[in-house]
Protein backbone atom coordinates (compact mmCIF):
# COMPACT_ATOMS: atom_id res chain seq x y z
CA UNK A 1 0.00 0.00 0.00
CA UNK A 2 1.27 3.45 -0.84
CA UNK A 3 0.81 6.61 1.15
CA UNK A 4 -1.34 9.05 -0.86
CA UNK A 5 0.50 11.99 0.71
CA UNK A 6 3.99 10.68 -0.04
CA UNK A 7 4.37 12.40 -3.42
CA UNK A 8 2.93 15.70 -2.18
CA UNK A 9 5.18 15.55 0.88
CA UNK A 10 8.25 14.82 -1.24
CA UNK A 11 7.39 17.77 -3.53
CA UNK A 12 6.96 20.06 -0.51
CA UNK A 13 10.30 19.01 1.01
CA UNK A 14 12.11 19.55 -2.31
CA UNK A 15 10.45 22.96 -2.66
CA UNK A 16 11.47 23.96 0.87
CA UNK A 17 15.05 22.80 0.23
CA UNK A 18 15.28 24.77 -3.02
CA UNK A 19 13.79 27.90 -1.43
CA UNK A 20 16.35 27.71 1.38
CA UNK A 21 19.21 27.30 -1.11
CA UNK A 22 17.94 30.18 -3.25
CA UNK A 23 17.64 32.40 -0.20
CA UNK A 24 21.26 31.64 0.73
CA UNK A 25 22.24 32.43 -2.87
CA UNK A 26 20.53 35.82 -2.49
CA UNK A 27 22.69 36.59 0.55
CA UNK A 28 26.02 35.19 -0.70
CA UNK A 29 27.18 35.75 -4.27
CA UNK A 30 30.57 34.00 -4.11
CA UNK A 31 30.30 30.26 -4.64
CA UNK A 32 33.26 29.43 -2.39
CA UNK A 33 31.41 31.05 0.51
CA UNK A 34 28.02 29.67 -0.51
CA UNK A 35 29.08 26.01 -0.70
CA UNK A 36 29.61 25.49 3.07
CA UNK A 37 26.22 27.08 3.76
CA UNK A 38 24.57 24.82 1.17
CA UNK A 39 26.20 21.78 2.80
CA UNK A 40 24.89 22.90 6.20
CA UNK A 41 21.36 23.19 4.80
CA UNK A 42 21.68 19.71 3.28
CA UNK A 43 22.93 18.37 6.63
CA UNK A 44 19.82 19.76 8.36
CA UNK A 45 17.58 17.96 5.88
CA UNK A 46 19.57 14.73 6.14
CA UNK A 47 19.45 14.82 9.96
CA UNK A 48 15.65 14.74 9.82
CA UNK A 49 15.38 12.32 6.91
CA UNK A 50 14.08 9.37 8.94
CA UNK A 51 11.55 11.22 11.11
CA UNK A 52 8.24 9.34 10.82
CA UNK A 53 6.19 10.88 13.64
CA UNK A 54 3.71 13.30 11.99
CA UNK A 55 3.65 15.71 14.95
CA UNK A 56 7.43 15.86 15.20
CA UNK A 57 7.70 16.28 11.43
CA UNK A 58 5.13 19.11 11.46
CA UNK A 59 7.11 20.89 14.19
CA UNK A 60 10.37 20.52 12.23
CA UNK A 61 8.81 21.86 9.03
CA UNK A 62 7.11 24.73 10.86
CA UNK A 63 10.45 25.73 12.40
CA UNK A 64 12.17 25.51 8.99
CA UNK A 65 9.51 27.75 7.40
CA UNK A 66 9.83 30.24 10.27
CA UNK A 67 13.62 30.30 9.93
CA UNK A 68 13.28 30.87 6.19
CA UNK A 69 10.82 33.72 6.76
CA UNK A 70 13.19 35.39 9.25
CA UNK A 71 16.21 35.07 6.93
CA UNK A 72 14.33 36.10 3.77
CA UNK A 73 16.40 38.52 1.69
CA UNK A 74 14.71 41.93 1.22
CA UNK A 75 15.98 42.27 -2.37
CA UNK A 76 16.35 38.79 -3.89
CA UNK A 77 18.25 38.11 -7.11
CA UNK A 78 15.81 37.83 -10.02
CA UNK A 79 17.08 36.58 -13.39
CA UNK A 80 16.71 39.34 -16.02
CA UNK A 81 14.23 37.44 -18.20
CA UNK A 82 12.10 36.18 -15.29
CA UNK A 83 8.95 38.04 -14.20
CA UNK A 84 10.15 41.07 -12.23
CA UNK A 85 13.59 40.97 -13.88
CA UNK A 86 15.17 43.90 -15.67
CA UNK A 87 14.25 42.62 -19.17
CA UNK A 88 10.71 41.52 -18.36
pLDDT at 72: 96
Q: Averaged over 5-9, what is the pLDDT?
A: 83
Query: pLDDT tens digits for 19-28?
Result: 999 999 999 9
Q: Give 37-51 pLDDT, tens digit per residue.
A: 999 999 999 999 888
Residue 4: its pLDDT value, please? 61
2 membership: H or E segment, kind and range:
none
Amino acid sequence: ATNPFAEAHRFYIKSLYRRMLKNERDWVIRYDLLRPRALAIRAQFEANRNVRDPRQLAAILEKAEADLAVRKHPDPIIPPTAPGGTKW
